[in-house]
Amino acid sequence: MTAQLGHVHSINVSAGGVPKLPVPRVEVSEHGLAGDAQRNLRHHGGPARAVCLWSYEVICELQREGHPVRVGSTGENLTLSGVRWELVVPGARLQIGAHVLLEITSYATPCRTIWGSFALLRYGRISQKRHPGQSRVYARVLQGGQVATGAPVALHALEAAR
């Protein structure tokens, strides 16, 4: 396993739906982030999808392409910076701050709820199948605790993902 460092750029929550708005700190448990909810529990939430994560660098790249995407506008809970996003794959683990440990479980399939974040409503732009290494990901919480904006992130990537 390879460790790679970054930090929490933003923590985002909502009472349901998008956008998710920034908060300075949050308690993370196996149920997800305190104060966060999902409207569609068939496709979001649950133990294997407790936390949705995305890359700040991917957001910036999409903005340069002309997409009106913003931090939290696609429903991610944690926006990370400084992490090689192509290494954030199912099975990889993220240590966030001193206490929180997450395991990536799957890629998040984009849906039309987030189409306003994309030029010409092309939300498929962040599909893992069409654009590998650009997708949001879901994670399960292996160890909960409090996380604050700016907290260090250590990615323990799988060697096979290199």
Per-residue pLDDT tens digits for 133-143:
999 999 999 99
Question: Which amino acid is it at 144?
Answer: G
Separation of alpha carbons 62 and 68, rounded Å: 8
> What single string gives the DSSP state of each residue in 78-143?
EEEESS-GGG--TT-EEEETTTEEEEEEEEPPP-GGGGGGSGGG-GGGG-TTTSTT-S-EEEEEEE
Q: At residue 27, what are phi and psi to the nearest 5 degrees?
A: -90, 130
Give me the pLDDT at residue 4, please. 73
Question: At the top level of CATH, which class does the domain 2-161 belong to?
Answer: mainly beta
Could you tell me the residue ranges of all domains in the chain? 2-161
16 secondary structure, DSSP code: S
Question: What are the residue ranges in the chain where pLDDT is below 70?
Answer: 1-2, 39-45, 159-162
Specify the residue for token string 């599909």. Answer: 127
Give me the pLDDT at residue 162, please. 42
